[in-house]
Amino acid sequence: MSVISYRQALHDALRGEMLRDENVFLIGEEIGLFEGSYKITAGMLAEFGPKRVRDTPIAEEGFTGAAIGAAMLGLRPVVEIMTINFSLLALDQIVNHAAKIYGMFGGQARVPMVIRTPGGGGQQLGATHSQNIELYYAFVPGMKVVAPSSPADAKSLMLAAIRDDDPVLVLENLALYNTTGEVPDHDEPAEIGKAAITRDGADITVVAYSRMAAVALQAAGRLAGEGIDVEVVDLRSLRPLDRETIIASVRKTNCAVVLEDDWLTYGIGAEIAATISDGAFDWLDAPVRRVAMAEVPLPYAKPLETAALPSVDDAITAIRATLDAVARRG
């Protein structure tokens, strides 16, 4: 165990896999000479050379598609898409090709590839550079989507993604890169498709992923002071979705709040709330409440951006309100 940053954990996982398997290579914009827009691949070009750390032209569709084709021949490309916003330009290659090839050809070709890309707002990047559109991938059969919220998960989920034979999108987050935490020194891939209880609690279940899973722990910590015992479910895998773990928790606490960084209507949280309301129907003592981003193109101006993004305070408000609703129905 050592305490490292989320960024370092991603870097270590990539480097370890590059050393372990020569079929693994990195491809994307500015990952080599520039050392990565967010420096996840710093030092990689110097260590592995331009064949395995391939800078590309600005052509998301072209180089993502090229990675898919290379994967069809047995390589294991790890694509960096600078931010998830730009992945829309490669969506046809990902959704209509990477996610379809195994099934559409009757199981004859595999696409063992990883797409790494950060989501997240909060840095005044404006409407087109601050989106959370992991939904576009989590919705698609044939895709796998993981969303680490801690350095430990960043490493173990990245390892699992690279060793998986299907296209896996690893959702990173701009606001998490500098966060730190304990990470095992040895390589231990996580199991894709499993959520985790990151905090045991008796009073209420908070379900979240990526940055909001960290926010959930902060909220739980603050509420513990007031004797409110929050259980936190970190989804970790958006597709497949681990409904069992969510339901088991809510059947224990009898109420739930969902935290998400994307827009509320049709967002990831809608499925979580629908799943809970169905699977824990006879256990639920209050409606499942969702905390999400305001449904607007995110403005640049700081006060507007701050108001639009979900915060720890918003989470606490929703948790309290839900417990009140339980009490009212008591």
Ligand X SMILES: Cc1ncc(C[n+]2csc(CCOP(=O)(O)OP(=O)(O)O)c2C)c(N)n1
The span of 181-189, 203-211, 220-228, 306-314 binding other proteins (CB under 8 A) equals 306-314
For residue 297, the 8-state DSSP code is: P
| Residue 19 binds ligand X, judged by CB under 6 A | no
17, 60, 80, 172: the active-site residue: 60
Residue given tokens 């959702």 in the structure block: 171
**Taking CB within 5 to 8 Å according to partner kind, which of its own copies, other proteins, ligand X, none is near residue 136?**
its own copies
| Residue 75 binds its own copies, judged by CB under 8 A | no
| Minimum separation from the CB atom of position 176 to its own copies (A) | 22
CA distance 155 to 92: 28
Residue 263 phi, psi (nearest 5): -75, 150
Token pair of 157 as six digits: 């989920």
| 3-state SS, residue 146 | strand
> Bridge-partner residues for 171, per DSSP?
117
CA distance 12 to 33: 19
For residue 92, the 8-state DSSP code is: I
Interface characters, 102-141, with other proteins (x: CB under 8 A):
xxxxxxxxxxx----------xxxxxxx-----------x
Token pair of 20 as six digits: 């372990």
Q: Which of 149, 123, 160, 133 is nearest to 6 (CA)?
A: 149
DSSP string, 161-228: HHHSSS-EEEEEETTTTT-EEEE-SS--PPPTT--EEEE--SSEEEEE-THHHHHHHHHHHHHHTTT-
With contacts defined by CB under 8 A, how many residues of the chain interact with other proteins? 118
Task: Count each helix (H run) and each strand (E run) in the chain, helices first.
Answer: 12, 14
Is residue 60 part of the annotated active site? The answer reads yes
| Residue 29 binds ligand X, judged by CB under 6 A | yes
Instruction: Out of 92, 191, 200, 244, point to the residue binding its own copies (CB under 8 A).
Output: 92
With contacts defined by CB under 6 A, how many residues of the chain interact with ligand X? 6
Interface characters, 259-278, with its own copies (x: CB under 8 A):
---xx-xxxxxxx-xx--xx
Is residue 305 part of the annotated active site? The answer reads no
The span of 149-157, 197-205, 225-233, 272-280 binding other proteins (CB under 8 A) equals 272-280
11, 17, 129, 260: the active-site residue: 129
CA distance 73 to 252: 48
3-state helix, strand, coil in the chain (%, to 5): 40, 20, 40
**Taking CB within 5 to 8 Å according to partner kind, which of ligand X, other proteins, its own copies, none is near residue 124?**
other proteins
| Cβ nearer to its own copies, comparing 12 with 262 | 262
- Which residues sit at the interface with its own copies, rule CB under 8 A? 85, 88-89, 91-92, 95-97, 99-100, 102-104, 126-128, 133, 135-136, 138-142, 239, 241, 262-263, 265-271, 273-274, 277-279, 281-282, 284, 286-290, 295-297, 299, 329
- Which residues sit at the interface with ligand X, rule CB under 6 A? 29, 58, 60, 82, 86, 89
Which residues have a catalytic role annotated? 60, 129
